[in-house]
Amino acid sequence: MLHDTNLGRMTGAPAWLRRHPFVLACLGIVVASASVWAVPAQVRIPIVKDHAKLDPPGAGMFSHWRHEQYQCVACHPTIFPRARKGFTHDDMDEGRFCGACHDGRTAPPASGARANCKTSCHTP
């Protein structure tokens, strides 16, 4: 699309778009936000090893919406691959996966004595 400065209108665009340029802006916003809506609200973390008797038995759940203050690139693909991958509490204790932030300093701990498993990750 070219903008004809002499005529003050767009040239080379369909007639309906020349009459309603805000439609193009709205379409751009819809397309840009479509990737956000494609993100699953919750992701079940695959179990890769049996939990200890005192640990919750179910798989952990990750909520994208509880982490909405971060952009996708804060975690993907450096901390988490885009495909679901299982990991253990040992991995988190070593600073990988959730443990990269949930270390007790940056964010509440993801495992250990101070973690609140039943209200954070292991919700029914």
Task: State residue 37's pLDDT score.
Answer: 59
19 and 78 belong to one structural domain: no
Structural contact between residues 64 and 103, judged by C-beta atoms closer than 8 angstroms: no
Q: How far apart are CA 119 and CA 124, in angstroms?
A: 9
Q: Closest Cα to residue 44, out of 85, 74, 96?
A: 85
Task: State residue 74's pLDDT score.
Answer: 93
In 18-117, which ranges are E strands?
A: 42-44, 61-63
Residue with tokens 């040992």: 90
Residue 24, φ and ψ in degrees, nearest 5: -65, -40
Sorted by sequence, the CB contacts under 8 Å of residue 99 that are 6+ apart come out as 91, 92, 93, 110, 111
CATH number reported for the structural domain that contains residue 75 in this entry: 3.90.10.10
14 and 67 belong to one structural domain: no
Q: Give how many domains the chain has, as a whole number.
A: 2
91 and 117 belong to one structural domain: yes
Token digits for 112? 């250990």
Task: State residue 6's pLDDT score.
Answer: 47
Task: State residue 100's pLDDT score.
Answer: 94
Parent domain of 86: 39-124
pLDDT along the chain (124 residues), means of 10: 50 69 67 62 87 75 90 92 84 92 88 74 70
Structural contact between residues 43 and 83, judged by C-beta atoms closer than 8 angstroms: no
95 and 65 belong to one structural domain: yes
54 and 27 belong to one structural domain: no
61 and 108 belong to one structural domain: yes
45 and 93 belong to one structural domain: yes
Task: State residue 78's pLDDT score.
Answer: 92
